[in-house]
Amino acid sequence: MKLPSRVKLVDVGPRDGLQNEKQMVPAEVKITLVHMLQDAGLKEIEVTSFVSPKWVPQMADNAQVMAGIHRKPGVRYSVLVPNMKGFEAAVESKPDEIVVFGAASEAFSQRNINCSIAESIERFAPVVEAALKRNIYVRGAISTAVGCPYEGEIAPERVELVARLMKQIGVQHCGVADTIGVGTPLKVQRAMEAALKHYDINDVSGHFHDTYGQALVNTMACLEMGIWQFDSSSAGLGGCPYAKGATGNVATEDVVYMLQGLGIETGIDLDKLIDAGKYISDFLDRKPNSRAATALLNQRT
C-alpha cells in the first residue's frame, strides 16, 4: 500500500465550525482562532463566508474577521462565495482562494443556496471568471456527495455530473463533501472516483463530517487512493445549518494524530493545534470533539 508522503489539511473550523453555532462568536475570538491555527502550522485556513447574513448570521462579520487577521507568509486564507454579490464583497478582503459550493442533490441545493444545481452553475460561472482574472484560486465544493438529508443515498454519477459542470466553468479544485457524514469507505471512494473522472488527483480533496464516526476511516480510504488534501475542523466543530442532523467535521487533531502515526508529513504541531481547539472549545463552553485532543489533554493534567 503506497500512501502519500505528505498531506495538506485545510482547517475549516472558523467557517464550517462556527457557522452553525447559535451563540454569536465575536470577531476577535474568530481572529484569535485563525492566529492559533496558523501558529500551529496550518497552511490553509477557511476563514469565513460571504453569504447572506439573513441565512447565516454567524458569518455576518466576514469582512471584519478577514481585516483583523495578521497574515502569515505561506498561509492561504479562503472564503466561501455563493454568487457575484458575495464575490464583490469578498474581493475587498483579499482572499487567496474562494470556494463556490454546489451540491450533488437537487433538494440540498435548493435548501442551502436557494437554487437548482443548474442555476448554481450559472451563478458560479461569472464568479469563477472574475476570480481567475484576479489570480484568485477557485475551489469548488460538492455537498451531499454520498448522502442527502432530503433525498437519501446519492449515486456517484451525480457527483460526476457536478464535477464535470464545475470543470467546464473553470473551477480549479474539486472538494468532495460528505455533508451529513453518512459515507462509508467504499461509497466515499466511489464518489472520489467520480470526481477524478474530471479532476487530477492533485486537484481533489475530501471534506468529511463525522456524524456516524466514519470520517477518519473515510480519510484513510482516500489516502489509499493517493488523495492527499482534506478539510478538517479544529476541535471537530462544524455543521451546516441547512443539513439537518449533520454534526461536526472530522477533528483536525484526530487526522493529524493518525497521519503522524502513518509517518505522513503535515507540517502541523499537534500540541499547538490542541491549544487552538481547546481555546475555541473553552469559549463555547464545551470539550473538544476530538478523541486525540481529549486523550492528550488528559495526559497534560
- Smallest gap from Cβ 108 to ligand HMG, in A, equals 8
Q: Does 46 bind Mg ion (CB under 5 A)?
A: no
Q: Among Mg ion, ligand HMG, none, what does residue 110 contact (CB within 5–8 Å per kind)? A: none
Q: Which does 85 bind (CB under 5 to 8 A by kind): ligand HMG, Mg ion, none?
A: ligand HMG
DSSP the chain: ----SB-EEEE-IIIIIHHT-SSPPPHHHHHHHHHHHHHTT-SEEEEEE-S-TTT-GGGTTHHHHHHH--PPTT-EEEEE--SHHHHHHHHHT--SEEEEEEESSHHHHHHHHSS-HHHHHHHHHHHHHHHHHTT-EEEEEEESSSEETTTEE--HHHHHHHHHHHHHTT--EEEEEETTS---HHHHHHHHHHHHTTS-GGGEEEEEB-TTS-HHHHHHHHHHHT--EEEEBGGG----TTSTT--PBPBHHHHHHHHHHTT-B----HHHHHHHHHHHHHHHTS--S-HHHHHHHHHH-
- Residue nearer to ligand HMG on the CB measure, 140 or 274: 140
Residue nearest to ligand HMG (CB): 86
Q: How far is the CB of 8 from ligand HMG (least distance, A)?
A: 17
* Complex with ligand HMG: residue 20 or 274, whichever CB lies closer: 20
Stretch near Mg ion under the rule CB under 5 A, chosen from 16-24, 27-35, 97-105, 123-131: 16-24
Q: 9, 14, 16, 256: which one contacts Mg ion (CB under 5 A)?
A: 16
Q: Of these partners, ligand HMG, Mg ion, none, which one is at the site of residue 55 (CB under 5 to 8 Å by kind)?
A: ligand HMG
Where on the chain is the footprint of ligand HMG (CB under 6 A)? 16, 19, 49-52, 55-56, 80, 82-83, 85-86, 101, 112-114, 141, 143, 177, 179, 207, 209, 240, 242
